[in-house]
Chain A
Amino acid sequence: MTNNLINIFGRIAHWILNLPPQATELAKEVDHLHYIVAGTTMVAAFGVLGFMVAFLVRFRRSKVGNVTRRVEVPLPLEIAFVTIPLVIFLSWFQIGFKQYVRLTTPPKDAMDVYVMGKKWMWKFAYPEGPNGLNVLRVPANRPVRLLITSRDVLHAFFVPAFRVKMDAVPGRYSQTWFTATVPGTYPVYCAEYCGTAHSMMLAEVIVMEPEAYDKWIVEASRGRLKEANAGVEPNRLEDLQSDMVTQGRRIAAEQGCFKCHTVTGETHIGPTWLNMYHSTHKMQTGEEILVDEAYMTESMMDPNARQVAGYKLVMPSYFGRLHATETAAIIEYIKSLRTSMEGSKPEGPAYEPVGTK
């Protein structure tokens, strides 16, 4: 009964506030906070305004008089002025901050998709190889992490239905994630102004049933996507033929990574790449760190930020030297060097499906 009421109330609020559909669980939670904040602020604002109007009417000048009683604010009232809003604001912040942390911290088992913004299109690349332009296909009910970068100016990847947004910054990777629950097609906007066709930099997320997605990704990695999308991709980017692992191996060789890093498990000037992904490294500071995409990106861009114990700091920074997609490719290559997964899997999904862990 109460649940029904809350549902009805929620729907009304959703309609009044003109919010987009809620395609993730987190979107629903964010919206609940939104209803509370919007409701409370409106009530409070009208309450304060009501006082003002009441005072204006009550104390309107009836006779021409300039003499009033001197009133000073009593201390308890002043304290109330500060504490009441403070408590309310901070409690909202507390809820909002927790949600923000969840919205920006991807779960470990999320599958990855690389997103690159470019004037004025979105390119999506899957670790398994296939690429998409302006169409991002994801499975429903599985967490998807997006690793976002830009090729030219700032962009921002924004899916209103998921309530997520993240800037695409040239030279670095940002990330966001979602678990879409409702299959369907949702618009993607570029929220950071990027020039002439900023408002035309549109894409869509297609949330598919997991089974359909699994079928699609296998077919797509075999290259059928190219045919399927032949007519709709006017501006295919170069060098999309090989999958990212192969690209990563080539780029690592070109950049001279193998002068210091082995892929065989032997220790050389730098730590070996074999089984490095998701292993734990001990830092010089004594801190233990899980080697993930973020740490690997950081190590390439800013090697001395966190230095692994037992190695000399000789690694140069690749900030600005590696293209965003190249960094991604090297990371995918390192991720493929895992004995537990028997090397790379050129076909089929590289992530482990939900539930097996």
Chain B
Amino acid sequence: MSAEPATSARAQHDHEDDGADAHLQHHFQDLNVQADAARLGMWLFLSTEILLFGGLFIAYSLYRQVYPEGFHAASELLSPELGLLDTAILITSSMTMVMAIFMTQKRKKNAAVILLLITIGLGLSFVCVHSYEYWRDITEGALPGKFFHVEELAGKHGAAMFFTLYFCMTGLHTIHVLIGAGILTVLTYFTWKGDYTPRYMSPLENGGLYWHLIDLIWIFLYPLLYLIA
């Protein structure tokens, strides 16, 4: 079975203008069904992502109940300002992502490419800011679990657990940002090639959904980790 769309399926469809039908896979009736399938698949995938983080959120809420003080004290070691910067970066990137899709719908390919590049750049700058935060935490001794040795939190029980969860949650999130940036890079390439048109742009839309999910998870993480006080 070949990966290419069957020619017969292609021939059955009237060509419009933009070659969108070339993207119709042989087993779908038409592009609408294919786009529906892609969208539904994406939403299902996003639900698995939320549940993946769900386990960590459950652990967080459990331990925060057990160690309210420790969590409180440990949270103060983090910089809410840097966290706010992270949040601003991600929200802006979500906005540029939406605009890129809008531009594709308006057939403004170059604008879309530029907006996508900005989105990727913002994503990477988020990773940079976060790496700086990690470096700050690590130099202060705020390592997870057994390696935790922050002088001022010595007596606070649960502070180490806070940082364990902090590293697990933000680490998993940062990995997602990197994956998202990778996906957007591929999408930028195809946008630049002119593959996406108003009739066929579900990869771009789904990439956008993924990016928004990353943003959304951060919006939950930020208050939980930085703003306990």
A304 touches B157 (CB 8 A): no
A316 touches B155 (CB 8 A): yes
Among the listed stretches A28-36, A262-270, A317-325, which one makes contact with chain B, having 4 or more residues with CB under 8 Å of it? A317-325
Q: Does B66 contact A (CB under 8 A)?
A: yes
A127–B155 Cα distance when bound, in Å, is: 31
A301–B158 Cα distance when bound, in Å, is: 12
Residue of A nearest to B67 (CB): A317
CB neighbours (8 Å) of A318 from chain B are 157
B157 touches A302 (CB 8 A): no
A interface residues, how many (CB within 8 angstroms): 9
Interface residues on B, range: 10 to 19
A301–B67 Cα distance when bound, in Å, is: 9
- What is the distance, in angstroms, from A288's C-beta to the closest C-beta of chain B? 23
A316 touches B68 (CB 8 A): no
A316 touches B157 (CB 8 A): yes
0/1 interface trace, chain B 48-90, chain A, CB 8 Å (1 if under): 0000000000000000011111100000000000000000000
CB neighbours (8 Å) of A304 from chain B are 68
CB neighbours (8 Å) of A319 from chain B are 66-67, 157-158
- What is the distance, in angstroms, from B170's C-beta to the closest C-beta of chain A? 24
Contact residues of A between 310 and 353, Cβ < 8 Å to B: 316-321
- What is the distance, in angstroms, from A203's C-beta to the closest C-beta of chain B? 32
A317 touches B66 (CB 8 A): yes
A319–B65 Cα distance when bound, in Å, is: 12
- What is the distance, in angstroms, from B166's C-beta to the closest C-beta of chain A? 18
- What is the distance, in angstroms, from B148's C-beta to the closest C-beta of chain A? 13
0/1 interface trace, chain B 24-36, chain A, CB 8 Å (1 if under): 0000000000000
A302 touches B66 (CB 8 A): yes
CB neighbours (8 Å) of A321 from chain B are 157
CB neighbours (8 Å) of A302 from chain B are 65-66
Contact residues of A between 79 and 127, Cβ < 8 Å to B: none
Contact residues of A between 174 and 208, Cβ < 8 Å to B: none
What are the 7 A-B residue pairs with the smallest beta carbon separation, nearest first? A317-B157, A302-B66, A316-B157, A317-B67, A304-B68, A319-B66, A321-B157
Cβ contacts A to B, 15 pairs, < 8 Å = A302-B65, A302-B66, A304-B68, A316-B69, A316-B155, A316-B156, A317-B66, A317-B70, A317-B157, A317-B158, A319-B66, A319-B67, A319-B158, A320-B157, A321-B157
Q: A302-B65, A302-B66, A317-B69 are in contact. List 4 more A-B contacts (CB 8 A).
A: A316-B155, A317-B70, A318-B157, A319-B157
